[in-house]
């Protein structure tokens, strides 16, 4: 299994993501502990996503979410799993993903990450499209954001763009003025 780890890395560096995924999947048994296994599953899901294999990607995002003890990895695994349904025609799956995110936002475990969760729910709501519900969730993202300038700026930018498209220029200007230019990302 050690050689599978090395081969996975080598194929990854060569942009052979399908081969990297195959070798990384074989090397899952090499994980030191539950957290290491969840990190590998998350990487595996990303590789499958890059290959366009959304079902396999979703499967490994779910596994990573179940095995992790890190709330941030749990959030991103669930968010990325929810993204797997954004491009499809399955509105029910999209609605389930949004509902899952909104449930996460209410749990104490994810309190420090509510800004990211609400932002992500708003992004999915724009895919539905439900702009009014997206605005509510972008506002909640800003409200719960304490120190994450990047996500605050993203939320203000989305709110500004929505207001601009609705020809609410004064509100759009206020949202754009709220952007913090010290953020370099």
User: Cα angle at 107 between 103 and 109, to 5 degrees?
Assistant: 135
The whole-number average pLDDT for the span 12-19 is: 89
Residue-wise pLDDT for 88-141, tens only, equals: 556 777 888 888 889 988 988 888 889 998 998 998 888 888 899 999 999 999
Per-residue confidence (pLDDT) for residue 109, from 0 to 100: 84
Burial class (CB in 10 A: 0-12, 13-18, 19+), 182: exposed
Residue 59 burial by CB count (10 A; 0-12/13-18/19+): exposed, middle or buried?
Answer: middle
pLDDT attached to residue 183: 67
From the CA atom positions of the chain, what is the Rg in Å?
19
- Assign 87 to helix, strand or coil: coil
pLDDT at 2 > cutoff 80: no
Residue 118: per-residue pLDDT = 93
| Residue closest to 141 by CA, chosen among 130, 126, 153, 127 | 153
């Amino acid at each position: 299994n050690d050689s599978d780890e090395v081969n996975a890395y080598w194929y990854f560096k060569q942009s052979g993501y399908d081969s990297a995924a195959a070798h990384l999947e074989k090397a899952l048994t090499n994980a030191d502990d539950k957290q290491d296994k969840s990190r590998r599953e998350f990487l595996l899901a990303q590789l499958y996503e890059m290959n366009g294999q959304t079902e396999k990607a979703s499967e490994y995002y779910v596994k990573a979410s179940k095995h992790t003890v890190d709330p941030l990895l749990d959030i991103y695994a669930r968010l990325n799993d929810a993204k797997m349904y954004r491009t499809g025609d399955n509105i029910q799956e999209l609605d389930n993903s949004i509902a899952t995110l909104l449930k996460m936002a209410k749990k104490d475990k994810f309190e420090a990450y509510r800004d990211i969760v609400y932002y992500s729910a708003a992004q999915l709501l724009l895919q539905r499209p439900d702009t009014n519900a997206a605005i509510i969730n972008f506002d909640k993202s800003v409200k719960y954001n304490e120190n994450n300038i990047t996500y605050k700026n993203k939320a203000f930018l989305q709110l500004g763009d929505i207001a601009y498209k609705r020809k609410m220029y004064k509100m759009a200007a206020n949202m754009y003025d709220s952007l913090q230019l010290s953020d370099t990302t």
